[in-house]
Amino acid sequence: MRKGSLVVAVGFLVACSTRPSPAPAVPASEATASTAVTSAEPAADSAPVALASLSDLKIGPFAAEAAHPEQSLCTEASGARGFYGFYRTDAWEKGNTVLTFDDGPHPTATPRVLDLLAKHELPATFFVVGRAISRDTYPLIQRIVAEGHTLGSHSYSHDVKMTRVGAPADSVETIVGQHAVTAILIDISLMAKSGDDFDAMFSQVFERDPAQWLTPGAIKSEYRTFSARHDELLAERGYEDGEHPYTVLYSRPPGGGPYVEHDGAAGIAIYDSALRELKMMNVMWHGASGDTVPEKRSDYGFLTDNLAKYSKSGGVLLIHDYIRSDALAKGLERMVQDDAVKIVPIDDAVRAKYRCDGNTLTAKLHGAAPGSVLAGGSIGPLPAGFGG
């Protein structure tokens, strides 16, 4: 593998039903999504900081200078399409691959993925599902950031049908609420000192039992209220106005959303409108491991062949936390041994397409001066015994 530096780019930002323990299985909504989503083929176009604790991390306006202030315009590459994001038609340097993992955090699957990435010193981006974040899994959010990886939002409920062409305004509210609530849960996870502390913050912001899932209806109708309470919580925890433990720039639609289905330009326009309001960047994929294909997701050869094929071709590679672990181990080993493959952090891909880093793009989307928003960073190892 061609060596690349491990750097971090991060991004910005109810009635309830009983929350079951998560399991490393394909979500039913995703397993029944369109062929383009579940096949292994690409989707259709459409310096560590020493901290006493994670609670000391504050990311927000005026937190730090961007790494490349001279590249401050975030100029879109010629011929690029859609809102800020990565799409199948992007020009891409062969062999430069961004690893992405969806649908975590999961209490057993996600640690296995992190262990394998640590073994090979590889960077990745984790698109997390809000309802999977709880008192039991929040330490994994901390670990992902502490080990130098990037977090993105994969929505709260993982509903692959959030975009409804017949109800555009309602759809935008749904999409914005889903990603906004997930960003709140990422913040809560990074501030939490124990499971009880996580639950207390959850209860304060959402005024719900932490053991219950938020319903999509509650999220859509109350996400602004949740955000206001979250701002109050941040102030109580010592954050200045506009500061967050983490600013989520990257998001991915569940199942690929309208970008892989047949809603056409109208559906894409709806989702793009939500992204503009969220100030988030859309991350599609150029190749997939195939771990959502029902009859193939346990096929070792199928999975390892796809990992080899799409890492060689380069681009954003879609994998799920629950992928068969021995197949992932072999796939990553092959990537490391292949001189034609270079695993790069997602920030490198932003720089290649938009001529600026993730920090600067985040500043632009938020209307801040270039270099005024720190979009992310690795925070070093967790203190012994930290998190409960």
275, 259 Cβ separation under 8 angstroms: no
Residue matched to tokens 């990435």: 117
274, 175 Cβ separation under 8 angstroms: yes
Classify residue 360: in a domain, yes or no.
no
Classify residue 60: in a domain, yes or no.
no
113, 326 Cβ separation under 8 angstroms: no
Position 370 scores a pLDDT of 55
DSSP state, 69? Answer: T
Question: Residue 28 corresponds to which amino acid?
Answer: A
Rg (CA), the chain: 19
C-alpha 203: how far from chain center: 24
The rounded distance, in Å, linking the Cα atoms of 231 and 14 is 19
The pair of structure tokens assigned to 10 is 């991060």
Classify residue 33: in a domain, yes or no.
no
Position 380 scores a pLDDT of 30
Classify residue 79: in a domain, yes or no.
yes
Position 355 scores a pLDDT of 87
| Residue 196, domain CATH | 3.20.20.370
The pair of structure tokens assigned to 154 is 């994969």
Classify residue 2: in a domain, yes or no.
no
42, 182 Cβ separation under 8 angstroms: no
387, 193 Cβ separation under 8 angstroms: yes
Flag residues of the chain having pLDDT under 70.
Answer: 2-72, 76-82, 262, 369-388
Classify residue 23: in a domain, yes or no.
no
Residue 212, SS3 per DSSP: strand
**In degrees, to the nearest 5, what angle opens at C-alpha 246 toward C-alphas 245 and 247?**
135
Nearest C-alpha neighbor of 313 from the set 350, 284, 288, 282 = 288
DSSP state, 301? Answer: H
The values of phi and psi at residue 373, to 5°, are -120, 125
The rounded distance, in Å, linking the Cα atoms of 165 and 290 is 29
**Residue numbers of the domain that contains 181:** 75-354
Total count of domains within the chain = 1
Classify residue 263: in a domain, yes or no.
yes
Q: The pTM is what? A: 0.82
Classify residue 39: in a domain, yes or no.
no
The rounded distance, in Å, linking the Cα atoms of 263 and 261 is 6
